[in-house]
Amino acid sequence: MPCHPARARELLRKGKAKVLRIFPFTLILVEREDGDVLPASVKIDPGSKKTGIALVADAKRGKKVVWAAEVEHRGQQIKKALDKRRAIRRGRRFRKTAYRTARFLNRTRTSGWLAPSIMSRVENTMTWVKRLQRFSPLSGISVERVKFDMQKMENSEVSGVEYQWGTLNGYEIREYLTVKWDNSCAYCGAKGGRLEIEHIIPKSKGGSNRPSNLSLACHDCNRRKGNLALEDFLTDKKRLEKMKAQLRAPLKDAAAVNSARNKIVELLSQILPLETGTGGQTKFNRTNQKYEKAHWIDAACVGDSGEKVYISEAIKPLLIKAVGHGDRQVQLMDKHGFPRGNPAKGKIFFRFKTGDIVAAFVSSGKKAGRHKGKVAVRASGSFNITTTQGTIQGISHKYCKTLHKGDGYAYEV
């Protein structure tokens, strides 16, 4: 159960607990096996670059965030690596080599297949939920599933004030319009800036408040359009056609667009009771509680349970970066694709592996001192350690002690 840092220090000082793991910092009690635990749920805001995670406990006085993290994904690196591999294989096929029968029609994809770069995001999230489940008494999971709830919006008659900023439905509609109009002015195409919600058929001419009659416009266009009809305002034929096409185009089902989120929801629902929320709701909850924008704060505000959450200013998220486990390329290459010596056989040398976090105490010489950081190993036993100050080259394995075994992630507190 997450506890206050002061309490953790006290337990360690009195010898009542030992360090089990550094990232996330976990203690194990040595004297007793029981203790008070609060039911806690893990809340997730899945993103394409970063995923926010918050551990929220059900305390007596209400819900509060007890631990938070942000996981940085490596989708782009995976795509790059696969593109590189594909290029190498293509090059190899056109070389003068022994004939091999074609085997291009023997590939299958299982149903529910996702691109490796997307799957890595799903798997990073699953890894961290499972880890938290091992260290903390989890009772449930909340995930932001979609940006907005299409069904909720289509079924509800939007009344006069509800499209306005400030209500839950208003936030849902805002998210919907952002996607529908690609976060740009529907009339002049200006991107970003402050966009206003605007009626395509003016209200004075009988236009409704339904999402289908709403668009986003920059302040200038909104003011100039006033209560003109669409055809009277957009005199440029091309622009008018474009806008009409965009208006007619069915919005791809927001749930289907986000395949990674769907997969996460599918897999997580097999582990623990699951609550889902929408992006509009998250933003509504966060704005109402006057919290800043951050992935982990968004995570804490997901779903109905995010309506009232206490976030102490003392909480600092653990920054986790997915870095992978290295590659299995058997032949190194120079920049022209020619062989460049062989990589070392195996990955573990003197019980260390590249990516482990180690501490080295060097007693004398030029590199004397205590160095703590990520190790890069060599078969010779002369390692490099990357500390916060920089990389120290050529430290013997004899001085190194493992603090945290490499697990495919880099950490920063």
Q: Does 228 bind Zn ion (CB under 5 A)?
A: no
Nearest approach in angstroms of CB 248 to Zn ion is 20
Angle of the 116-135 helix axis to the 259-268 helix axis, nearest 10? 30
**What distance in Å separates the CA atoms of residue 270 and residue 263, rounded to the nearest whole number?**
11
Nearest approach in angstroms of CB 190 to Zn ion is 5
Of the residues 12, 20, 22, 188, which one makes contact with Zn ion according to CB under 5 A: 188
Of the residues 66, 185, 385, 400, which one makes contact with Zn ion according to CB under 5 A: 185
Shorter beta-carbon distance to Zn ion: residue 10 or 182 = 182
Cβ(281)–Cβ(303) below 8 Å: yes
Shorter beta-carbon distance to Zn ion: residue 26 or 178 = 178
Shorter beta-carbon distance to Zn ion: residue 223 or 340 = 223
**What distance in Å separates the CA atoms of residue 242 and residue 179, rounded to the nearest whole number?**
16
> Which window, 51-59, 183-191, 250-258, 302-310, contacts Zn ion (CB under 5 A)?
183-191
Site string for Zn ion, 135-174 (x = CB under 5 A): ----------------------------------------
Nearest approach in angstroms of CB 84 to Zn ion is 42
343: tokens are 């990589």
Q: Any idea what the Cα angle at residue 10 is, between residues 6 and 11, rounded to 5°?
A: 120
Shorter beta-carbon distance to Zn ion: residue 194 or 345 = 194
Q: Does 377 bind Zn ion (CB under 5 A)?
A: no
Of the residues 44, 57, 221, 318, which one makes contact with Zn ion according to CB under 5 A: 221
Nearest approach in angstroms of CB 219 to Zn ion is 8
Cβ(331)–Cβ(82) below 8 Å: no
121: tokens are 């995001």
Shorter beta-carbon distance to Zn ion: residue 42 or 221 = 221
Nearest approach in angstroms of CB 230 to Zn ion is 14
User: Phi first, then psi: what are they for 175, rounded to 5°?
Assistant: -60, -40
Residues in the interface with Zn ion (CB under 5 A) total 6
Q: Look at residues 171, 147, 117 and name the one whose alpha carbon lies nearest to residue 252.
A: 147
Q: Does 216 bind Zn ion (CB under 5 A)?
A: no
> Which window, 80-88, 214-222, 266-274, 351-359, contacts Zn ion (CB under 5 A)?
214-222
**Residues of span 54-113 touching Zn ion by CB under 5 A:** none
150: tokens are 């299409």
> Which window, 98-106, 186-194, 293-301, 326-334, contacts Zn ion (CB under 5 A)?
186-194
Quickly tell me which residue has 């950081």 as its tokens. Answer: 373
- Sign, Cα dihedral of 248, 252, 253, 254: negative
Angle of the 116-135 helix axis to the 75-93 helix axis, nearest 10? 140
> Which window, 68-76, 123-131, 187-195, 327-335, contacts Zn ion (CB under 5 A)?
187-195
Cis bond before residue 24 (omega within 30° of 0): yes
Cβ(357)–Cβ(165) below 8 Å: no
> Which window, 78-86, 115-123, 178-186, 243-251, contacts Zn ion (CB under 5 A)?
178-186
Number of H helices, E strands in the chain: 12, 18
Shorter beta-carbon distance to Zn ion: residue 163 or 187 = 187
Nearest approach in angstroms of CB 224 to Zn ion is 8
Q: Does 218 bind Zn ion (CB under 5 A)?
A: yes
Nearest approach in angstroms of CB 163 to Zn ion is 19
Q: Does 187 bind Zn ion (CB under 5 A)?
A: yes
- The 3-state DSSP class for residue 343 equals coil
Shorter beta-carbon distance to Zn ion: residue 152 or 242 = 242
Nearest approach in angstroms of CB 234 to Zn ion is 11
Nearest approach in angstroms of CB 216 to Zn ion is 9
Nearest approach in angstroms of CB 191 to Zn ion is 10
Nearest approach in angstroms of CB 409 to Zn ion is 44
**What distance in Å separates the CA atoms of residue 375 and residue 356, rounded to the nearest whole number?**
6
Give the number of C-alpha atoms closer than 13 A to the C-alpha of residue 131, restricted to the C-beta side: 17
Q: What share of the chain is helix, strand, coil (3-state, %, to 5)?
A: 30, 25, 40
3-state secondary structure 135-165: HCCEEEEEEEEECCCHHHHHHCCCCCCCCCC
Binding site for Zn ion (CB under 5 A): 185, 187-188, 190, 218, 221
